[in-house]
Amino acid sequence: MQRRIRHITRAWILVFLLFSPTLQNLNPIPVSISTEPDLDYNYEYEKHGVYTKFSDWVPYKLHKWEPKFLEDYYEMYGLKLHYKENELRRNIFFLKAGLQKRFRHPRNALCRVTNEEEYHKYRLLIFMHMNLQIMRSYMRIASQFDKRHLYFYNLDFAHELKQSFEVADSFYKEAIPYWEASRKYADQASEIDYDLDLGTIETERYEIITGKLDFGQIISDHRERLTKKRETVGAYLAKYPEADKPNLDQIP
């Protein structure tokens, strides 16, 4: 009932305003009905006597950063505690791209260099380390397709293991050239008698040239063990050829 009374009251007020003599004598004010907004986004703003467009004060892209130098790509390398193949492939992509770029100016190097020989060793050590990181990433991917231990019940998936071991071996092979490149740069860097403040990178160089760090032997051992596991899977599939197909029944 109260709502109905309010509606009737509003209606009478509207009638009074429409037929009021005072309102009838007022001149109408023209109103623009243009659909174009009356806004000037490029109006000039005065600051310290200099006129600047307002749009120049608003950044078009925030946090825009484009890697340009080798060190820029190297600094994009990162590995989480729990990583998968995508993170490893991402690191490989950036490290490979960085190897094709030029270095920063010596004053912006990753460590302090005081002469040309130090800067030359710096470049050799960075090449060594980046190749080593690419090699390690390939080996980590290979480990995700490899099995440390092959038990008898794993042979229920002999078909899948055959394919997985083939992929693992291909990634082990991919890692070999980058290990050889790392060893080459380590040998060249060791000919320069300067110690740079690059932390563990100098330690890596020392361990490589002394043979303490020998990924060539490590990769060879991985491939030998993988060969034995592939032979076991091959012998099982030769004995049970009907098992050489996807085992859909065992997939939960």
Please check whether residue 2 lies inside any domain of the structure. no
Average pLDDT, integer, range 77-96: 87
Three-state secondary structure call for residue 47: strand
pLDDT confidence of residue 38: 47
pLDDT: which is higher, 1 or 151: 151
- How many helices (DSSP H) and strands (DSSP E) are in the chain? 8, 2
Please check whether residue 27 lies inside any domain of the structure. no
Q: Which pair of tokens denotes residue 62?
A: 């925030």
Please check whether residue 94 lies inside any domain of the structure. yes
Average pLDDT, integer, range 18-43: 50
Question: Which residues, in sequence order, are CB contacts of 43 under 8 Å at separation 6+?
Answer: 53, 54
pLDDT: which is higher, 21 or 234: 234
pLDDT: which is higher, 47 or 144: 144
pLDDT: which is higher, 39 or 181: 181
Q: pLDDT tens across 113-122, in order? A: 999 999 999 9
Torsion-angle region of 45 (φ positive above 0: left; ψ -120 to 50: alpha; else: beta): beta
Average pLDDT, integer, range 167-193: 96
- Confidence grade of residue 43 (pLDDT, cut at 50, 70, 90): very low
Q: pTM of this prediction? A: 0.72
Q: Residue 250, Cα to own-chain centre: how many angstroms?
A: 35
Please check whether residue 26 lies inside any domain of the structure. no
pLDDT: which is higher, 44 or 198: 198
Could you tell me the residue range of the domain that residue 86 belongs to? 70-243
Number of domains in the chain: 1
pLDDT confidence of residue 201: 92
Q: pLDDT tens across 97-131, in order? A: 999 999 999 998 889 999 999 999 999 999 999 99
Average pLDDT, integer, range 153-175: 94
Please check whether residue 206 lies inside any domain of the structure. yes
Beta bridge partners of 45: 52
Cβ atoms of 194 and 118 within 8 Å: the answer is yes
Q: pLDDT tens across 194-224, in order? A: 888 888 899 999 999 999 999 999 999 999 9
pLDDT confidence of residue 232: 95
Q: Which pair of tokens denotes residue 148?
A: 């440390």
Please check whether residue 29 lies inside any domain of the structure. no
Cβ atoms of 168 and 145 within 8 Å: the answer is yes
Please check whether residue 17 lies inside any domain of the structure. no
Average pLDDT along the chain: 81
Please check whether residue 160 lies inside any domain of the structure. yes
